[in-house]
Chain A
Amino acid sequence: MFRFEAAAASPGEPWLNIAIFGAFVAVTMVIVFRASRNNRTAADYYAAGRSFTGGQNGSAIAGDYLSAASFLGIVGAIAMTGYDGFLYSIGFLVAWLVALLLVAELLRNTGKFTMADVLSFRLKQRPVRIAAATTTLVVCFFYLLAQMAGAGGLVSLLLGIGDQVGQALVITVVGGLMILYVLVGGMKGTTWVQIIKAVLLIAGAGLMTVWVLAMYGFNFSTLLDRAVEVAENPAILDPGLKYGVSELAKVDFVSLGLALVLGTAALPHVLMRFYTVPTAKEARKSVVWAIWLIGIFYVFTLVLGYGAAALVGPEVIAAAPGGPNSAAPLLAFSLGGPLLLGLISAVAFATILAVVAGLTITAAASFAHDIYASVVKKGKPEPGAEVKVARRTVVIIGVVAIIGGIGANGQNIAFLVALAFAVAASANLPTIVYSLFWKRFTTRGALWSMYGGLISAIVLIAFSPVVSGSETSMLKTEAIDFAIFPLSNPGIVSIPLAFLLGWIVSVIDNRREDAVKQAEMEVRSLTGLGAEKAVSH
C-alpha cells in the first residue's frame, strides 16, 4: 500500500509545489537556528534541555508518529481496498494506550536520553546497552529507509520528476536538509520541525475532511453511497476486501494488528521524545495530547479515503503515477485545484522531513550515548566529546540513509515500515515490560529476548512472501522463491517468542541481579525520585 512508482506526469504545477515546500523549509530553518542557540550539553542536544511542555511535546510526538505512510498510505488504502485500510488507523491509535499506561511515565523517571538507559538500569550495563543500541539502530534504519524511499516516490508524483537520476537528486536534497536540521538544531530544532509539521498536517487533513463532508451535505452516509457508486463495488464499505481473501490472509492480518498495537510503545524514536519534558506528569500530558491529535487525524483518514474514492475514483487513482499513494494529493487537487495540491504536497514533504529528523537524532543519540560514551569510554567521555560524536554520527547516518534511500527507491515501503514495527515489538517491548515490572528478570533473559526477537523477526521476514516468490515481492520475480514462511508479517510468531525467551531464560538463570538496583529502579520509576525537581525545604 505504500508503494510509489516512477512517473512522468504531475497533476499540479511543479513550480508551485516547489515554492510552497521551499517556504516551509525557509520558515522552519529560521526557527531551528533561533531555537538552537543554547545547545551546549548532551541534555540540550538529545533532550532539548527537557524544556518542552506536555502540549508541545504531545504535538511533536504526533508529528514524529504520523509519517507519510499514515497520511498517504492509509488514505490510499481506504480509497482502494475500502474498510481494510481503516484497520491500520485503529491499530496505530490503540497502540498508544500501551505507551500511556505501561511505558511513558516510568521510562521518563528512570532514563536519561535513550531506551538503553532504562533497559540497562538494573542489569549488566555493557551487554544490555550494546543489545539495546543494536535494536535501536536496526529499527531506526528500516524506518529511515522507508521514509527516504517514500520521499523519492512522492517527488515523482508531485514534481513530475520521473527519471531515476532526478529522484536520486531529490532524495539527496531531502537527506541533506535533514542532516542540517539535526546537526544545527539538535532535539530542540527537530522538535520544532515536528510541531510545525503536526499542526500543518492535521489542519490540512481537517480542512479537506470538512470540505469533503460539506460537498455531501455533512451526511457521511451519502458520501459512502457515492463512493460505492463510483467504485461500482458495495464491498468497499465492509471489511475483508484485502484481508478476507484467504485463511492465510486473515492470519496475516491478525499478525500485522499485533505488531502495530505492540510496536508503537517500543519504537525508540517515540520513546526518546518522553525525555524532552521536565517531569513524568508532563510526559503523561504529552501522551494525552498525542492520543487526541493522532485519534482525530485517523478519523479524518476515514472521510478522506472514502472521499477520494467518491470524488476521484479507484480507477483514476490506480492509474495515477504513484498509485494508491496519490489518493490524498489527487483528492486535494479535485477539491482545491493546484493551490491545495501544492499545500498538501508541501505538508507531505514536511511529514517525511520531520519523521526522518526524529529518527536520525534517535539513532545518533543511541550510538554516541550508549556505544561511545557508555561502552567505549566506560561512562567517562571527555567533556563535550559525546555531543561531538553524536553530530558526526548524524552526518554518517544521513549519508547512509541517502544511499539506502536511493537503493530502496521503488521498493515496497509497507514492507520496511511493518518490519520496523515488528522488530520493535519483538526486540524491545518484552525487555521494557519485564525490566519495569518483573523482579526476577535477568541480564541473560534480556539478551535472549532482545537478540531472539530481533533475529527471529528479521529471519522470518527474509523468508516471507514480501522478499521473494512473486512479481510484487522485493526481488520482483517469481523465479527466485525462498518464501518458506507464509505470512508477510512475523509479529504473531516473533513477539510471543521474544516474551517467552525472556521469561524462560530468566527463570532457569541461576544468577541473581542486584536487588538494590532493582529496588532503586522501582522506587524511582513510580515516585519520580531524582527525576523531579527537589522540594525546597
Chain B
Amino acid sequence: MGNEALSADVDLSHVDYPAVQQSPEFQELRSTHRRFVFPVLGACLAWYLAYVLLAVYAVDFMSTRVFGSINVAMLLGLAQVVTTFAVTMWYVSFANKHLDPKAERIRDEIETGVFLDRADEGVVR
C-alpha cells in the first residue's frame, strides 16, 4: 500500500502472502483466533438475546423479588455487565498468552526474511 501510516521500515513488497497464509504456523494462529472469538462471541450474543427475550416475554419471572425490592431483572442486568467485564478480561489474557506470541513470531520472521527461507528449505514442513 506504500503509506507512511503502516510504519513498515522493511520492504514488504516481495512477501509471498499466499505462501505465508498456507504455512502451518499461520494456519495455527488463524484457527487459535477463530476457535476463541467465534464461540465466545456467539455465547455472549445468545446470553444477551436471552436476557432481552426474558425482559419482554417473561415479565413475571423477571419481576420476582430477590433481596428487598431488588428483582431478578436487575440482577440479570448486572450479570450482563459482569459477564461483559469477565469476557473482556478473559479475551485479553487469552490474546496475550496465545495470540500475541504466535503473531509476533510470524511477523518478525517475515520482516527478517527468515520465514519463507525456512519454508523453502523444508525446515518447517
Binding site for B on A (CB under 8 A): 41, 43, 47, 50, 83-84, 86-87, 89-91, 93-94, 96-98, 100-102, 112-113, 219-222, 224-225, 228, 237-240, 243-244, 250, 253-254, 257, 261, 275, 278, 281, 284, 287-288, 291-292, 295, 298-299, 302, 437, 515-516, 519-520, 522-523, 526-535, 537
Contacts and interface: CB of A to CB of B under 8 A. Distances in A.
Contacts of B103: 526-528
Interface in B98-123: 100, 103-104, 106-108, 110-112
Contacts of B78: 299
Contacts of A220: 70
A102 B6 CA distance: 21
Given A288-B92, A527-B29, A94 B69 contact: no
Interface string B72-89: 011001101100110111
B107 A537 contact: no
A225 B92 contact: no
Contacts of B63: 237-239
Contacts of A298: 81
Given A224-B69, A254-B53, A526-B103, A47 B5 contact: yes
B67 to A, nearest CB: 6
Contact of B88 (A83, A91, A100, A244): A100
Contacts of A292: 85, 88
B66 to A, nearest CB: 10
Contacts of A228: 69
A530 B6 contact: yes
A224 B29 contact: no
Contacts of B67: 221
B18 A516 contact: yes
A281 B89 CA distance: 14
B71 to A, nearest CB: 6
A168 to B, nearest CB: 39
Nearest to A249: B56
Would you call the interface of chain A mostly helix, strand, loop, or mixed?
A: helix
B37 A102 contact: yes
Nearest to A515: B18
29 contacts: A43-B4, A50-B5, A86-B77, A94-B44, A101-B37, A101-B40, A220-B70, A221-B68, A225-B69, A237-B69, A238-B62, A238-B63, A238-B71, A253-B55, A257-B52, A287-B88, A288-B89, A288-B92, A291-B84, A295-B81, A437-B34, A523-B21, A529-B8, A529-B106, A531-B8, A533-B9, A534-B7, A534-B8, A534-B9
B111 A529 contact: yes
Contacts of A238: 59, 62-63, 71, 73
A515 B52 CA distance: 41
A243 B58 CA distance: 12
Given A97-B44, A532-B107, A534-B111, A41 B80 contact: no
Interface string B13-24: 001011011000
Nearest to B108: A535
Contact of A531 (B6, B70, B74): B6
A519 B112 CA distance: 19
Contacts of A275: 5
B56 A253 contact: yes
Contact of A284 (B6, B7, B33, B92): B92
Given A243-B56, A523-B15, 4 more contacts: A94-B84, A519-B18, A523-B17, A535-B107
Contacts of A43: 4-5
